[in-house]
Amino acid sequence: MQATEMLVAILIPLSFFLLVFGIIYMQKRENLAMIEKGLNPKEFANRPAPYKNLKWGFLLIGAGGGLFLAYILDAYMLPSIHRNENEAIYFALIAIGGGLGLYGSYKVEKKWWDENKTDKP
């Protein structure tokens, strides 16, 4: 077994368990901070997410649009002797399209919250 294989065999499980530990630790700290402020953490655990489906819809539409654009660029515009030379463009345009979708979702949510904001004391 080479040194890099041994390093990978050690670091992957270690990083996984550290990630799980970190998530649980931060949830416990958040609950304790809410209790210190006099709030009930169980009330906030089941709070509604009003635009969750909209966010996923925009994300998937953006990622699909990015994938389609990458295919069009790869098939018709980018010169390549061998097919599948331009893999990076697929990942890049999926990420860009998904990011634009999330940004669009943010703008729609922000517009709704600004219109329905109440300034009651």
Query: So what's the pLDDT on residue 82?
Result: 61
- pLDDT at residue 14 greater than cutoff 50: yes
Indicate the average pLDDT of the chain: 86
% of the chain at pLDDT higher than 90: 45
- Quick one: 83 and 54 in the same domain? yes
Residues 58 and 107 in one domain: yes
> Quick check: 86 and 80 in contact, CB under 8 A?
yes
Task: Return the structure tokens found at 52.
Answer: 């969750």
The pLDDT tens digits of the residues spanning 28-79 come to 999 999 999 998 888 776 666 778 888 889 999 999 999 999 888 888 887 7
pLDDT at 10: 92
Angle among Cα 87, 89, 90 to the nearest 5 degrees reads 70
One domain for residues 43 and 53: no
Check whether residue 23 and residue 72 sit in a common domain: no
> pLDDT value at position 101?
92
Distance CA(66)–CA(100), nearest Å, equals 10
Domain range for 74 is 48-116
pTM value is 0.57
**What confidence score (pLDDT) does residue 115 get?**
86
